[in-house]
């Protein structure tokens, strides 16, 4: 009996280890959503989506058309009704209503916890992407806390001081350069000392080793990215879908998963400047990026596309059978409340006054794990709760 005792003890330890491993994989690894990806796209009204679909070569949006579920989303997130990207993004990021034009601050001035910090505490890699500056309110609401969302320098400082975001892609190089030239802080040099890889163009984006890069900053334009000026922007242009693809390839190496926020403010920017055709191309950019996220993130992911508000609306300027565009399948367009104009004006592209945001509902589309919870009429706080449950 004494001779068999060590073997029995070893067998018991082996069985216990196998049972523990099975339970860990069953209840913690397999049950955990690997990727949570949020797309924030102001200005993408349902009528603009319809137009983008009609003007797509295949009359089909392969990314946005594949949503598993959709919902209307209320636009009231602060002491004003609609059009406040900072307040609406902060409501989504924190689950709490806050003052207008503030980033993730409560009414008492104290910082509110955000999904990005919650994801970090749970061991996830975190990343932000913006087709505008990386200090834009839509992404800044997830990591910054300040009373004025327009102070870009303070937001850029918080990127390094408040958190260690693993991946930062977008425009906004001018903000970093201004801080350096003013003799305040050389943020990019500080980032390099914190083990960030710095890239500035498509070659750098494609060449860095995703499997061996712990943190990366990619700043590809002084302000906004020059996306979708045409349907074929050229080989050297960085597209939103390129940024999403490389971000997922990089963040996915984290075994505990990742949380990624993607903001595309250029739809609302184009709409606000009465550039309906450009707004459509920006939606095609968004569709490519969403389709890329679906393909690269895989099935064990929740992807949420959230439009917090619309900007104006469009109308046809000419009939395709009687106007100048006789050969065109669809007539030309204008925003019916264009910038500073009483009526439609196809030449009033940039007057310095933006078209007004709509006070109607926003919308959300969801894909993958947990998407069945996105239905009916929700508010951004309820979307926050859905995302938090998947972290």
The predicted-structure confidence for 149-164, as pLDDT tens digits, reads as follows 999 999 999 998 888 8
Does one domain contain both 256 and 304? yes
Task: Indicate if the pLDDT at residue 206 is higher than 50.
Answer: yes
The domain in which residue 317 lies consists of 313-355
- How many domains does the chain contain in total? 2
Q: How confident is the model over 223-236, as a mean pLDDT?
A: 64
- Indicate whether 261 belongs to any domain: yes
* Domain assignment present for 27: no
> Do 119 and 66 share a structural domain?
yes
Range from 42-51, 208-217, 251-260, 312-321 carrying the lowest mean pLDDT? 312-321
CATH number at residue 119: 3.40.720.10
Single out the residue of 113, 64, 42 nearest to residue 272, CA to CA. Answer: 42
Is residue 68 in some structural domain? Answer: yes
Lowest mean pLDDT among 2-16, 114-128, 189-203, 370-384: 2-16
328 and 273 within one domain: no
Q: In which band, very low, low, confident or very high, does the pLDDT at 19 lie, cut at 50, 70 and 90?
A: low
User: What pLDDT band is residue 33 in, cutting at 50, 70 and 90?
Assistant: very high
Residue 273: the pLDDT is 77
Predicted TM-score (pTM) of the model is 0.84
Pick 96 or 233 by higher pLDDT: 96
Structural domain includes residue 191: no
Please provide the average confidence, as pLDDT, over all residues in the chain. Answer: 84
Highest mean pLDDT among 161-165, 250-254, 272-276: 250-254
Q: Is residue 297 part of a domain?
A: yes
pLDDT at site 349: 40
Evaluate if residue 37 carries a pLDDT over 70. Answer: yes
pLDDT of residue 330: 47
Confidence at 1, pLDDT banded by 50, 70, 90: low
Q: At residue 186, does pLDDT exceed 80?
A: yes
- Based on the domain organization, do 120 and 91 belong to the same domain? yes
Are 77 and 129 in the same domain? yes
Distance separating alpha carbons of residues 129 and 139, to the nearest angstrom: 7
Question: Could you tell me if residue 138 is inside a domain?
Answer: yes
Residue 49: inside a domain, yes or no? yes
E strand or H helix at 121 = helix 115-121
Q: What is the pLDDT of residue 311?
A: 81
Both 298 and 318 in one domain: the answer is no
Task: Give the angle 168-170-175 at the CA atoms, nearest 5°.
Answer: 95
Tally of CB atoms within 10 A around 254: 16
pLDDT for the residue 308: 92
Does one domain contain both 334 and 258?
no
Across the range 199-212, mean pLDDT stands at: 91
- Sorting pLDDT into bands at 50, 70 and 90, what band is 297? very high
CA gap 154, 135 in Å, rounded: 9
Mark whether 303 and 323 lie in a shared domain: no
The per-residue pLDDT for 158 is: 93
| 156 inside domain | yes
Does 319 lie in the same domain as 298? Answer: no
Q: Has residue 140 got a pLDDT over 80?
A: yes
**What pLDDT shows up at residue 229?**
47
Alpha helices in 208-334 (DSSP H): 240-251, 266-272, 276-297
In the prediction, which pLDDT does 156 show?
A: 94
Judge if 304 and 317 occupy the same domain.
Answer: no
Are 241 and 279 spatial neighbours (Cβ–Cβ below 8 Å)? no
Same domain, 296 and 385: yes
For 60-72, the pLDDT digits (tens) are 888 999 999 999 9
Name 335's bridge partners: 314
Of the candidates 250, 148, 138, the one whose C-alpha atom is nearest the C-alpha of residue 199 is 250
Long-range contacts of 331-337 (CB under 8 A, 24+ apart): 332/277, 333/51, 333/276, 333/277, 334/274, 334/276, 335/271, 335/274, 335/276, 335/311, 336/312, 337/312, 337/313
Q: Do 147 and 72 share a structural domain? A: yes
pLDDT higher than 80, residue 176: yes
């Amino acid at each position: 009996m004494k001779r068999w005792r060590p073997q029995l003890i070893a067998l018991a330890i082996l069985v216990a280890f196998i049972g523990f491993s099975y339970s860990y994989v069953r209840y913690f690894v397999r049950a955990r959503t690997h990727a949570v990806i949020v797309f924030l796209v102001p200005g993408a009204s349902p009528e603009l989506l319809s137009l983008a679909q009609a003007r797509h070569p295949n009359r089909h949006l392969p990314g946005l058309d594949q949503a598993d579920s959709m919902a209307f989303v209320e636009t009231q997130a602060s002491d004003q009704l609609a059009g406040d990207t900072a307040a609406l993004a902060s409501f989504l990021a924190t689950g709490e209503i806050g003052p207008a034009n503030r980033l993730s601050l409560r009414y008492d001035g104290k910082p509110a916890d955000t999904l990005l910090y919650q994801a970090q505490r749970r061991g996830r890699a975190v990343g932000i992407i913006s087709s505008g500056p990386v200090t834009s309110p839509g992404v800044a609401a997830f990591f910054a806390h300040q009373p004025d969302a327009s102070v870009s320098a303070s937001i850029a400082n918080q990127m390094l001081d408040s958190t260690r975001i693993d991946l930062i892609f977008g425009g906004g190089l001018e903000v970093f350069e201004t801080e350096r030239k003013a003799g305040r802080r050389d943020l990019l040099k500080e980032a390099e000392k914190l083990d960030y890889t710095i890239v500035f163009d498509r070659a750098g984006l494609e060449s860095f080793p995703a499997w061996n890069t712990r943190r990366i900053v990619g700043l590809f334009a002084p302000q906004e990215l020059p996306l979708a000026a045409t349907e074929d922007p050229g080989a050297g242009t960085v597209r939103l879908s390129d940024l999403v693809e490389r971000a997922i390839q990089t963040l996915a190496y984290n075994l505990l998963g990742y949380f990624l926020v993607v903001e595309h403010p250029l739809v609302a920017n184009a709409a606000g400047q009465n550039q309906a055709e450009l707004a459509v191309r920006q939606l095609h950019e968004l569709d490519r990026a969403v389709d890329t996220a679906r393909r690269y993130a895989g099935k064990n992911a929740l992807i949420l596309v959230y439009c917090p508000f619309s900007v104006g609306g469009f109308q046809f300027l000419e009939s395709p059978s009687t106007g100048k565009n006789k050969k065109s399948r669809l007539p030309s367009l204008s925003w019916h409340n264009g910038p500073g104009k009483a009526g439609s004006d196809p030449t009033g592209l940039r007057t310095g006054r933006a078209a007004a945001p709509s006070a109607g509902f926003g919308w959300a589309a969801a894909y993958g794990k947990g998407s069945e919870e996105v239905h009916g009429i929700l508010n951004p706080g309820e979307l926050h709760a859905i995302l938090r449950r998947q972290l």
